[in-house]
Amino acid sequence: MVRGTTGREGPMEPTEGEQAPVAAREEGPGRGVGRRSVAKSAALTAALLLAGGGIAQARPARRPDAKPAAGGDLTLRLPAPTGPHRIGNTTLHLVDRSRRDPWQPEIPVRELMVTILYPAGAAGDAPPAPQMTREAAARFPLIDAVMHPELPGTGVNWAATLTHAQRGAAAQTVRRPVLLYTPGGGDPRTLGTGLAEELAGHGCVVVTIDHPGDASEVDFPEAATGRDKVRETVFRGDPRMNPQQFRTAIDTRVADVRYVLDQLELTAAGRNPDASGRPLPAGLGRALDLRRIGVYGHSAGGTTAAQALYEDRRLRAAVNLEGYLDHPPERPGGEGELFPVARYGVDRPMLMLQTDGFPHRAELERSWAAVLAHPHGRTRRGQFGATAHGVFTDYAAFAPQLQAAGLMTAEERIKLVGASGPDRSIPLVRRAVRSFFARQLSAP
């Protein structure tokens, strides 16, 4: 057990040239669309809509005032990374045979899908990789638009969005800091692509992790015992409304992160952890500096990042993007149990970032204050103004495009990502996360 302490560091700085919608605070002591496909997704949608206290309220699949996208469904664009490096990426299927799947007992192992983004060498002939596979993109509007009711159910070609990374490109054989990303509850790893590319373009190896059964949809190389090729979420409502489900989710996520760390060690030693034996990009293992590993996550992923930092000393720093550090209360009006990271503190750097538009700031405050109450620690917090919870994801770029196309109202955009435009909010989030890890992982 790590029993560290936390404290405070200097205030956050705005991106150069910004009017800084950031209010920094210091606080211290004081099978494709196949066998079960559309029918299963429709059943899931109905279940989510009917779930009491769930993630979303019922709404039409498409807004009555939505304008059809010119020339067909809208193609959304990710913001370009600003770093000097070309980016490569590769996807791995990892199988932990020491664990059964916690969500579906008929699956005898714990499987993960991860994407690794890294500084690449000379450009090849391959086109940019898509953000989502076609099979995942086919499920996305059936599931995610219910979990996030601001999203349109139709009108977007989710399979058409391209990344800025070349699949399978050779890695630069320079030892690089390694960052793990764990997404929000019910979200796929692909919704963190923009920030991951920014970090990779500035010289990090970034590993984005799907948590199957939790993530909205996860596309595997093939079907397996107990599941289809594309596995959908088991959530039927907000997991914080179900204390046991939330506990299982975070425990599973932390174990997933630690297993990915084990597989990165194998990769750095020259082995290939991919369960299908697909070749790794040339030089990838030599690019991993496992003396400099950080973790960041959004919402439930922020909870995961903080608790993983507490549990695993291979992690040197963490960023929690608006994630609770306590369990939900067992009964209405009660207080939930603090996670150990909040109860005992942690002795390595952690940055906690929040938005002024998060409707559950009061519930968040108790556990965040507990972390900051530990003296002599290295935890800091900051708040972004004119923003909301989804600003830490690719929705920061997508929501304004959806609004411009008539597929999202201004009110829905503000609810999802806040009023701040992407020209401000995206650089601010990028700089805060990038500069934190640059400071904390600069030396071996």
The 10s digit of each residue's pLDDT in 77-86 is 999 999 999 9
| Measured distance CA(296)–CA(436) in Å, rounded | 11
Is residue 41's pLDDT more than 70? no
Cα 283 off chain centre by: 26
Give the helix/strand (H/E) hosting 416. helix 410-417
| Confidence label for 219 from pLDDT (cuts 50, 70 and 90) | very high
Per the document, the length of the chain is 444
Is residue 65's pLDDT more than 90? no
Name the burial class of residue 283, with classes exposed (0-12), middle (13-18) and buried (19+) by CB atoms within 10 angstroms of its CB. Answer: middle
| Confidence label for 125 from pLDDT (cuts 50, 70 and 90) | confident
Give the helix/strand (H/E) hosting 166. strand 162-167
Residue in the block written with tokens 């070749």: 279
Tell me, what's the pLDDT at 261? 98
| Confidence label for 53 from pLDDT (cuts 50, 70 and 90) | very low
pLDDT digits (tens, 9 = 90+) for 136-149: 999 999 999 888 99
Tell me, what's the pLDDT at 25? 39
Range 236-248 average pLDDT: 91
Is residue 26's pLDDT more than 50? no
Phi and psi, residue 251, nearest 5°: -60, -45
| Measured distance CA(18)–CA(79) in Å, rounded | 18
pLDDT digits (tens, 9 = 90+) for 287-309: 999 999 999 999 999 999 999 99
22's tokens: 């950031």
**Cα distances (Å, whole numbers) of residue 403 to 288, 397, 413:** 40, 11, 7
| Confidence label for 444 from pLDDT (cuts 50, 70 and 90) | confident
| Measured distance CA(363)–CA(41) in Å, rounded | 32
Contact yes or no for 279/166 (Cβ under 8 A):
no
Phi and psi, residue 257, nearest 5°: -60, -45
Helix, coil or strand: residue 89: strand
pLDDT digits (tens, 9 = 90+) for 359-380: 999 999 999 999 999 987 799 9
Contact yes or no for 317/436 (Cβ under 8 A):
yes
Is residue 33's pLDDT more than 60? no
Phi and psi, residue 318, nearest 5°: -145, 150
Is residue 237's pLDDT more than 90? no
240's tokens: 């914080």
Give the angle 268-164-299 at the CA atoms, nearest 5°: 75
| Measured distance CA(233)–CA(68) in Å, rounded | 29
| Measured distance CA(181)–CA(207) in Å, rounded | 6
Is residue 129's pLDDT more than 50? yes
